[in-house]
């Protein structure tokens, strides 16, 4: 394919359980290229079942990068990912014109495609104080200080709440006011492919995925990682709820339903994030690979 000397990344995005992994592999095979994962939960080698890491067959079907490449005990920020991902892309682009990026973590996709925002340093004591607050207090404080960002952020993620609040308090300005300010221009073009379905279908797929995870041993994985449940990596849907079960807050059926409910909420937030990107080419989750690549091939040769 003649891309006229340009380099491209094709970003496959959409809600969880919609089929991004399968499409990414098909696209990688079509363009004879690699996949860069932008799913922040799949970075950690100890978390496999609860993060829906691609299967061994899927990993063998196309070369993947940033899948289980670090430990939950290693600090790894979105800034670290941006740095590593761009270095990885620059290396891949020495031999390839197209690379596939797959992920439902909007912030991490944006880190690759657009770069990160600059935030000033703030007093570490602010974070220390915020770490003593419960999640409801953090949510209410962010709603008061930055209602715009409150509507975008995963309000069930205390790490994200604290990060926003320390900037709000430390600078006296809303966290959202620092977003989308002068970023470094990328040396590649970006094409976004989004997968969509009716909400009822997405929710059914999520419920089925959780059931399959449980059949595959999710609860055993949760128990094995219990000594590390305080780490940020495990403060996430599919693990947090089962720790509430293990400490007696929930019975098992309630914990399972909470996982399904919170995953559905997460999918809704993912769609809200991606719907704001008008550059995304949306396809039904059952669309044939031939139809998708026909559209993409046109864009790659015309642009």
N- to C-terminal Cα separation, the chain: 13
Last residue of a domain, one of 137, 157, 178: 178
On the question of pLDDT at 184 being above 80, the answer is no
Domain count across the chain: 2
Structure tokens at 264: 């559905």
Structure tokens at 216: 């595959």
Binding residues: 14-21
Instruction: Return the residue matching tokens 């947090």.
Output: 240
Binding residues for ATP: 14-21
Residue 19: what pLDDT? 97
Of 148, 137, 141, nearest in space to 174 by CA: 148
Q: Which domain holds residue 22?
A: 8-116+183-302
Considering the domain architecture, whether residues 42 and 55 belong to the same structural domain is answered as yes
Q: What is the mean pLDDT of the chain?
A: 93
Considering the domain architecture, whether residues 18 and 102 belong to the same structural domain is answered as yes
Considering the domain architecture, whether residues 17 and 109 belong to the same structural domain is answered as yes
Q: Residue range 93-114: average pLDDT?
A: 94
Between CA 266 and CA 104 the distance in angstroms is 10
DSSP state of 185: P
Where does the pLDDT of residue 140 fall: very low under 50, low under 70, confident under 90, or very high at 90 and above? very high
Contact between residue 117 and residue 178 where contact means Cβ atoms under 8 Å apart = yes
The verdict on residue 268 lying in a domain is: yes
Q: How far is CA 291 from CA 36, 61, 284, 294, 297, in A?
A: 23, 21, 11, 5, 10
Binding residues for substrate: 16-21
Considering the domain architecture, whether residues 147 and 104 belong to the same structural domain is answered as no
Considering the domain architecture, whether residues 191 and 255 belong to the same structural domain is answered as yes
Confidence (pTM):
0.82
On the question of pLDDT at 146 being above 70, the answer is yes
What are the backbone dihedrals phi and psi of residue 300, each rounded to the nearest 5 degrees, phi first? -70, -30
Residue 119: what pLDDT? 82
Residue 33: what pLDDT? 98
Q: What is the CATH number of the domain that holds 20?
A: 3.40.50.300
Residue 249: what pLDDT? 96
The verdict on residue 86 lying in a domain is: yes
Considering the domain architecture, whether residues 57 and 23 belong to the same structural domain is answered as yes
DSSP states of 74-139: S---HHHHHHHHHHHHHHHTTT-SEEEEE-S-HHHHHHHHT-PPP-----HHHHHHHTTS-HHHHH
Structure tokens at 23: 């499409």
Considering the domain architecture, whether residues 97 and 154 belong to the same structural domain is answered as no
Residue 77: what pLDDT? 85
In this structure, are strands 8-13 and 64-65 parallel, antiparallel, or unpaired? unpaired
Give the pLDDT confidence of 233-287 residue by residue, as tens digits: 998 999 999 999 999 999 999 999 999 999 999 999 999 999 999 999 999 999 9
Contact between residue 24 and residue 192 where contact means Cβ atoms under 8 Å apart = no
The verdict on residue 38 lying in a domain is: yes
């Amino acid at each position: 394919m003649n891309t006229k000397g340009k380099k491209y990344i094709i970003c496959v995005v959409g809600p969880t359980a919609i089929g991004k992994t399968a499409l990414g592999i098909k696209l990688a095979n079509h363009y004879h290229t690699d996949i860069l994962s932008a799913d922040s939960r799949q970075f950690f080698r100890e978390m496999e079942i609860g993060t829906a890491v691609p299967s061994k067959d899927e990993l063998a079907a196309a070369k993947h990068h940033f899948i289980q490449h670090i430990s939950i005990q290693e600090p790894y920020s979105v800034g670290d990912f941006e740095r590593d991902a761009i270095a990885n892309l620059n290396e891949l682009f020495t031999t390839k014109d197209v690379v596939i990026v797959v992920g439902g973590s909007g912030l991490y996709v944006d880190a690759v495609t657009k770069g990160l925002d600059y935030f000033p340093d703030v007093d570490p004591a602010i974070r220390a104080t915020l770490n003593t607050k419960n999640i409801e207090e953090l949510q209410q404080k962010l709603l008061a200080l930055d209602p715009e960002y409150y509507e975008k952020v995963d309000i069930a993620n205390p790490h994200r709440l604290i990060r926003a609040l320390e900037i709000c308090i430390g600078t006296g300005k809303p966290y959202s006011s620092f977003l989308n300010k002068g970023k470094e221009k990328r040396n590649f073009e970006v094409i976004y492919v989004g997968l969509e379905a009716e909400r009822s279908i997405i929710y059914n797929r999520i419920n089925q995925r959780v059931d399959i995870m449980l059949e595959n041993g999710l609860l055993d994985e949760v128990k094995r990682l219990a000594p590390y449940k305080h780490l940020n990596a495990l403060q996430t849907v599919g693990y947090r709820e089962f720790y509430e079960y293990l400490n007696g807050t929930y019975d098992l059926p309630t914990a399972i339903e909470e996982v399904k409910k919170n995953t559905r909420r997460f999918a809704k937030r993912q769609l809200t994030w991606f719907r704001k990107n008008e550059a995304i080419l949306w396809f039904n989750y059952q669309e044939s690979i031939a139809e998708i690549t026909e559209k993409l091939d046109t864009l790659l040769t015309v642009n």
